[in-house]
Structure 1
Amino acid sequence: MEEGKEMKIARFSSCRGVAFEINANRCSPFAIESPTKPERSTGTWHWIPWTRNNSFKILPQPQAISPTRSRASSHFCDINIDADDDVELEFLSEVQDIEKNQEKVKVLPKTEQPKRNSRLSIILLDQGFTVYKRLFMVCITLNMLALALSISGHFPYAKSKATLFSISNILALTLSRSEAFLRILFWFVVKTIGKPYVSLRIKTSTTLFLQSIGGIHSGCAISSIAWLVYSLVIAINDDKTTSSPEILGVAFTILSLITLSSLAAFPLIRHLHHNVFERIHRFSGWLALILLWLFILLTISYDPSSKTYQLTISKMVKKQECWFTLIITIVIIIPWLSIKKVQVCVTAPSNHASIIKFEGGVKPGLLGRISPSPLSEWHAFGIISDGKKEHMMLAGAVGDFTKSLVSSPPKHLWIRSVHFVGLPYLVNLYQKVLLVATGSGICVFLSFLMQKNEADVYLIWVAKDIETNFGNEIKELVEKYSKEKVIVHDTAVCARPNVAEISVNAATNWNVEVVIVTSNPEGSRDVVRACNKAKIPAFGPIWDS
């Protein structure tokens, strides 16, 4: 802009009902610079969204800000600016009127905008050969190798113990999804290698493995089906008829249930019909476990010579299948023993989110499950707590249940009192961490801001209509943290930023060890890729993590 010329501004107005501080000193992460002093900049423009009735101003900003508008999305962690084409064209027209005789703003035509992949394609196809997929392939390869050796006669033990191999895989897949077992495993890892003298490479490799352990679950599920089919084929072709029709019938039923459960977990079904997947997976799994006990008891007690059943305790304790199945049963039952109905206080700062408050403090990095009906559905959320008297969950209204929390706030909910762990818990492994969140993804990180931790934590939060959508309480929790360690970007007032570029720059400036991001699949992928390209270790949620 030429020197001596000033842009005419009718007035300054906040957008979409969001109040922001005009503070040149930026004492608050929610403050923006005062518009009273005209500046000269060679950077790109920072656009403030507006409506037809509002005045506007264009402020110069760093190159990290990209004047783009995102598509609509059903995911509350998405950072989007809802504006129709007419408003956008009118906005651009006003910009050009103000900047006549100046360099024109370059805007890509709509047809030239990069094509966005679907969420499912990003989750499954656009993340490369991940550690999750590698663990899946390792489990499949090892099991198929053992199966091939058994079929060829080079592994006679496996042929005589085909059922045991199937149950062993079921045990492995159960442990890899057991919240109690993983809670202990993550705690042990943090206590043993979460020390300053342990190399960063060991920590990041461990983090990759732990967040991808679902690959073992999936790989062992497929392998258990293969071993069970092999066991049935051996039983059917056995000339000695060591199995009765009842045993074969129960085995076929177990095979059908496990296969049904695996098909329901197929990504397309799980993505489009999650409640269907959850119920089939749960109830078919329970029924298969009951039938597995029946199968083992029938097998142990069956006498082929007399074709009768004689069960004794001595026979049971000698069978490995019996002990493996007992462990599986205990691991599955443990989470259900912690279920209880509790009183909650639900408030809705907007139609887009609700805040659910519970009694009791919780340590940082833990997540919780809540349900309106424990046998039908469970929903996982990050936990916000100061570690003292209470904790709360921030639930974006994106599904039937979360929308009902806004429209009809319940007085009671079912919870699992034993909280579980995930990627956020592994913040405790490191000494200096950058946390990147979009939308309601902030909830899994807020406890690290509220409680004293061994890790030095920094935060980037990008969201839309922060005060309106999330309420003043959430905003104040962020404001209380050290202002030198927080970057907050509201896309209702500022244009959608390049979150990946901001994350790389912040990680470099703050000299952090690792970046952990919670966003939608595309956003998480972009941040992780950008950081890895800059040689900065980064982790984000993955499919089935």
Structure 2
Amino acid sequence: MRNQVRFSSCSGVTFEIKPRADPFAITAATEDETNTSKKFWPSWNIYGNSSKMFPSSIQKSVSRASRLFCDLDNDLADVDSDEGRITLQKLEEGKNEEKDHKPIIPLASKREQPTKAARKQESRLSVILLDQGLFTVYKRLFAVFLILNITALVLAVTGNFPYARYRAAFFSIANILALTLCRSEAFLRIVFWLAVKILGRSRVSLSIKTATTSLLQSLGGIHSSCGISSVFWLIYALVLTLKVRENTSPEIIGVASAVLSLLCLFAGWTALGLLWAFVILTISYDPKTKSYRNELGSTLIKQQEFWFTAAITVLIILPWLTVRRIPVEVSSPSGHASIIKFEGGLKAGILGRISPSPFSEWHAFGIISDGKTQHMMLAGAVGDFTKSLVSNPPSHLWVRQVHFAGLPYLTNLYERILLVATGSGICVFLSFLLQPCRANMVSGHPKDKVILHDTAVFGRPNVSQMSVDAAKRWGAQVVIVTSNPEGSRDVVNACKSAGIPAFGPIWDS
């Protein structure tokens, strides 16, 4: 028997692990392999100490298909606590051993197997409102900022907050700045980096780290609340203006009404231009002479509205200043996905945006990188753009060179963490296996630690319970999951019920 390691997935695809120097090499099928299968798969070496996990790279095998699912089951006894490294199981060698292996998961009869009910396609709004609980951090942030704005607005209307009454337009602009900050990829990249740099230390308590993670992943609640509040404040400003229309100009009223309409329609760029027009017209208009001042510069720089609008403009424009058209290598391991390869290594947990055009169709994907010279994205063929990557691979794509951080980046906050992924969700975590990471350094794979779960016999595994059990054995501080809305919710709820902090995507953008 050849000295190789082999495992199978529940989708009937068998893999072999073979040496390869290039961590992002795409191996074309040989003539014999082509006759068996038209697909080929990417392979990579594991970076640094983690190379002991998979001594070689993964490529598609031409051996028979299987219905076996390989679950790497960690044992706390295998942990080197001094190094903070996870030791994973050695993958079972050879198909003869595969036949003789007895799964440790109890047999379930066909009657006991859960039937896969057809699920309706849920909108992201319905997931946020109905599927994630009543008192999520996202909803609490939304409620807090909305209540603060409504309270200030009521006080202004009743005459108990004179500053807000006479500066209602400024409060609208301030809310627009707040919502822009909560969605600025450049600003949040700095915030996430500072959070990890300052709080990612062993002496910082776990409660502070988990609270920070909850806050950073739920900033969309502030974004949504401030968006609604900005409309309320602008309506109030217009009402006050119309009451004393003799002290303003028709142009200011018209521009303010247009800005309000565009905010309600989410027409960002046009609204930004009209916001500048509104600020300049308002500051330059003299109600006494009923005319506009000629010398405007010295007056503008003294006004808060000017500086807030300037900050909004910089935050919005900054990512677009980094847009570049760069060469890429696109290959398709199957008709359902494409692999896009770029030059330059990136840190783990980073995401990026690509597009066929600089002005439309920007798509975000998780980035897989060894942190050295290259990185890549895996794009499922689910829309016109991603399908075209399979049918007509481009030689160049437009990219934003400001890459942004998301929930996976906050893995760097913790020292012991369990990552759970289903389907293509695994891509966003692969960089943590390719690069050194304080939370999940991999150093070995002891014998006899493979669980083979035959979904044809046992049905789908209970991923939620498996996650809870693995987190307890490993002593994980937190669990982070990337799956579909239902799968993420189930894992997060199961872990929290067991007293284990857990986070998953909240589908708010």
Question: Structure 2-normalised TM-score?
Answer: 0.78
Distance in 1, Cα, partners of 2:104 & 2:344: 51
The answer on whether the counterparts of 2:365 and 2:377 sit within 8 Å (CA) in structure 1 is yes
Question: In the TM superposition, what is the alpha-carbon distance from 1:495 to its structure 2 partner?
Answer: 3.6
Counterpart AA for 1:294:
A
Question: What secondary structure sits across from 1:367 in the alignment?
Answer: strand
Distance in 2, Cα, partners of 1:399 & 1:491: 30
Residues 1:203 and 2:206 aligned together: no
In structure 2, which of residues 278, 287, 297 is the aligned counterpart of residue 295 of structure 1? Answer: 278
The answer on whether the counterparts of 2:109 and 2:457 sit within 8 Å (CA) in structure 1 is no
Matches within 5 A, 1:125-524: 125-128=130-133, 129-238=135-244, 241-261=246-266, 284-311=267-294, 312-456=296-440, 482-483=444-445, 495-524=459-488
| Aligned match of 1:535 | 499
Distance in 1, Cα, partners of 2:450 & 2:190: 32
Question: What secondary structure sits across from 2:274 in the alignment?
Answer: helix
In structure 2, which of residues 14, 18, 40 is the aligned counterpart of residue 19 of structure 1? Answer: 14
Distance in 1, Cα, partners of 2:169 & 2:104: 72
| Aligned match of 1:271 | none
Question: What secondary structure sits across from 2:375 in the alignment?
Answer: strand
Distance in 2, Cα, partners of 1:19 & 1:228: 60
Distance in 2, Cα, partners of 1:33 & 1:536: 39
Distance in 1, Cα, partners of 2:452 & 2:360: 38
The answer on whether the counterparts of 2:345 and 2:371 sit within 8 Å (CA) in structure 1 is yes
What's the Cα RMSD here? 2.9
TM-aligned CA distance change 1:29 to 1:201, over 3 Å: farther
Counterpart AA for 1:353:
A
Distance in 1, Cα, partners of 2:316 & 2:474: 43
Distance in 2, Cα, partners of 1:231 & 1:433: 49
Deviations 1:345-400 (A, max 9, x none): 11111112111100000000100101111211111111000011100001122222
Question: What secondary structure sits across from 1:45 in the alignment?
Answer: coil
Distance in 1, Cα, partners of 2:357 & 2:450: 38
Distance in 2, Cα, partners of 1:136 & 1:30: 53
The answer on whether the counterparts of 1:30 and 1:488 sit within 8 Å (CA) in structure 2 is no
Distance in 2, Cα, partners of 1:492 & 1:372: 41
Question: In the TM superposition, what is the alpha-carbon distance from 1:124 to its structure 2 partner?
Answer: 2.7
TM-aligned CA distance change 1:16 to 1:440, over 3 Å: closer
Question: In the TM superposition, what is the alpha-carbon distance from 1:537 to its structure 2 partner?
Answer: 0.6
Distance in 2, Cα, partners of 1:339 & 1:158: 39
Question: In the TM superposition, what is the alpha-carbon distance from 1:425 to its structure 2 partner?
Answer: 0.3
| Aligned match of 2:116 | 70
TM-aligned CA distance change 1:489 to 1:310, over 3 Å: farther
Matches within 5 A, 1:72-151: 118=122, 120=124, 121-128=126-133, 129-151=135-157
The answer on whether the counterparts of 1:340 and 1:415 sit within 8 Å (CA) in structure 2 is yes
Q: Is there any run of 5+ residues in structure 1 with no aligned partner, and where?
A: 1-12, 48-65, 74-115, 262-283, 459-480
Distance in 1, Cα, partners of 2:105 & 2:187: 55
Deviations 1:61-80 (A, max 9, x none): xxxxx83353567xxxxxxx
| Aligned match of 1:91 | none
TM-aligned CA distance change 1:530 to 1:117, over 3 Å: farther
TM-aligned CA distance change 1:145 to 1:450, over 3 Å: same
TM-aligned CA distance change 1:118 to 1:16, over 3 Å: closer
Question: What secondary structure sits across from 2:97 in the alignment?
Answer: coil
Distance in 2, Cα, partners of 1:184 & 1:366: 12
The answer on whether the counterparts of 2:349 and 2:405 sit within 8 Å (CA) in structure 1 is yes
Distance in 2, Cα, partners of 1:39 & 1:351: 35
TM-aligned CA distance change 1:407 to 1:494, over 3 Å: farther
| Aligned match of 2:19 | none
Question: What secondary structure sits across from 1:341 in the alignment?
Answer: strand
Distance in 2, Cα, partners of 1:259 & 1:343: 39
Distance in 2, Cα, partners of 1:435 & 1:408: 34
Distance in 2, Cα, partners of 1:486 & 1:325: 58
Counterpart AA for 1:328:
I
Distance in 1, Cα, partners of 2:330 & 2:103: 48
The answer on whether the counterparts of 1:20 and 1:32 sit within 8 Å (CA) in structure 2 is no
TM-aligned CA distance change 1:396 to 1:483, over 3 Å: farther
Deviations 1:325-360 (A, max 9, x none): 011111111100110011111111111211110000
Count of residues paired in the alignment? 428
TM-aligned CA distance change 1:402 to 1:163, over 3 Å: same
Counterpart AA for 1:296:
V
Counterpart AA for 1:253:
A
Question: In the TM superposition, what is the alpha-carbon distance from 1:117 to its structure 2 partner?
Answer: 8.4
Question: In the TM superposition, what is the alpha-carbon distance from 1:37 to its structure 2 partner?
Answer: 4.2
Question: What secondary structure sits across from 1:348 in the alignment?
Answer: strand
Distance in 2, Cα, partners of 1:188 & 1:508: 30
The answer on whether the counterparts of 2:92 and 2:98 sit within 8 Å (CA) in structure 1 is no
Question: In the TM superposition, what is the alpha-carbon distance from 1:454 to its structure 2 partner?
Answer: 1.7
TM-aligned CA distance change 1:30 to 1:360, over 3 Å: farther
Question: In the TM superposition, what is the alpha-carbon distance from 1:439 to its structure 2 partner?
Answer: 0.6
| Aligned match of 1:43 | 106
| Aligned match of 1:87 | none
The answer on whether the counterparts of 2:433 and 2:441 sit within 8 Å (CA) in structure 1 is yes
Q: Is there any run of 5+ residues in structure 2 with no aligned partner, and where?
A: 1-7, 17-65, 73-88
Distance in 2, Cα, partners of 1:151 & 1:487: 66
Counterpart AA for 2:420:
V
Distance in 2, Cα, partners of 1:406 & 1:489: 32
